[in-house]
């Protein structure tokens, strides 16, 4: 898609300068096209270019990319080699699963890592589940296969010259601290779904993991600052830009009414071209329902 849409790469690649360090993930199996896409991304100043070797959707099986690439380590090496020649010093990383279908032994996983790292990849982000290309849909693949954190820890011990980050099932700061214990030897951990389902947790990460004491904003302040950002970035009331706020009040009384206001408002004619007003009105609406939730901070 990215290579096909070269005249309009901004649609996919534009970001705010305060988002650094920022990575972009690419999916594909053709080295030449992947290298071309990587070159476009590198020109946008991305700090890392990641190859998707973990997505288990039906499309990836048909196109032999995503998790299907774990069945073809030499093919991944060819992609890495082609991309590295295009992006210069920008690191190329790999995100993958523990295995695919019946190819799910630890020996096969170590062979994949050993082969792919020989092409120059130094950092692997591991979703600590296998993937089923047959029998499970993408949503089920995020939850049904068993988590095996110990396999990721063992990879870090087996390949001390490489970096490994763990992904999958992490829902709390405490769980993140547990997997990042010094004895686990991991470079990092990745959260995805929880950042969408409960974005309020991200503020705790800034404070408790990175020691950023200057980010102690209330949820109302966060929403209004975000509305200013959206106002500058969007010419229409784009539902995608509204989504990050949908679960800002997760767990609070009447948060479902706030979510409904945003979801329905993003489709209303009066908010088209004015997403800032929609956010401000949603906050005002919620202030009538649960004012105490608006002013909560992480203190």
The span from the CA of 163 to the CA of 256, in Å, is: 41
Strands (DSSP E) contained in the chain are 23-26, 48-53, 92-96, 123-127, 163-167, 188-190
β pairing state of 163-167 and 123-127: parallel
Q: What is the CA radius of gyration of the chain?
A: 21
Whether 117 contacts 88, CB under 8 Å? no
Active-site amino acid positions: 55
Q: Which three-class secondary structure state does DSSP give residue 9?
A: coil
How many residues does this entry show for the chain?
Answer: 299
Sign of CA dihedral 125, 130, 136, 142: negative
C-alpha span between 61 and 232 (Å, rounded): 39
Which of 278, 223, 280 lies closest to 249, judged by CA? 223
| C-alpha dihedral, 104 to 107 to 112 to 114, nearest 10° | 160
Q: What is the rounded distance in angstroms from the CA atom of residue 27 to the CA atom of residue 200? A: 30
Q: Give the three-class secondary structure for 66.
A: helix
Strand duo 123-127 + 92-96: pairing: parallel
φ/ψ (deg, to 5) at 53: -120, 30
Strand 48-53 and strand 163-167: pairing? unpaired
Residue 269 DSSP symbol: G
């Amino acid at each position: 898609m990215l290579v096909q849409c070269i005249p309009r790469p901004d649609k996919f690649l534009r970001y705010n300068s305060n988002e650094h360090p920022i990575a972009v993930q690419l999916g594909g199996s053709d080295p030449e096209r992947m290298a071309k896409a990587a070159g476009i991304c590198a020109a946008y100043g991305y700090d890392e270019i990641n190859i998707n070797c973990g997505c288990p959707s039906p499309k990836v099986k048909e196109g032999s990319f995503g998790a299907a690439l774990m069945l073809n380590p030499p093919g991944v090496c060819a992609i890495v080699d082609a991309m590295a020649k295009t992006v210069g010093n920008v690191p190329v990383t790999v995100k993958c699963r523990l295995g695919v279908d019946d190819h799910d032994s630890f020996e096969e996983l170590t062979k994949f890592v050993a082969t792919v790292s020989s092409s120059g990849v130094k950092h692997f982000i591991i979703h600590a589940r296998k993937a089923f290309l047959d029998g499970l849909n993408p949503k089920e693949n995020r939850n049904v296969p068993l988590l095996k954190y110990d396999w990721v820890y063992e990879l870090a011990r087996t390949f001390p010259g490489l970096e490994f980050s763990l992904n999958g099932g992490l829902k709390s700061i405490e769980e993140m601290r547990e997997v990042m214990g010094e004895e686990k030897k991991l470079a990092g951990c990745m959260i995805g779904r929880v950042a969408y389902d409960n974005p309020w947790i991200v503020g705790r990460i800034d404070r408790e993991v990175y020691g950023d004491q200057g980010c102690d904003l209330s949820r109302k302040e966060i929403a209004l600052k975000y509305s200013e950002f959206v106002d500058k970035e969007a010419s229409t009331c784009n539902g995608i830009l509204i989504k990050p706020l949908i679960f800002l009040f997760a767990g609070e009384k009447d948060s479902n009414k706030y979510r409904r206001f945003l979801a329905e408002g993003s489709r209303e004619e009066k908010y088209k071209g004015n997403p800032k007003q929609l956010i401000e009105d949603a906050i005002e609406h919620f202030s009538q329902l649960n004012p105490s939730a608006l002013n909560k901070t992480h203190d």
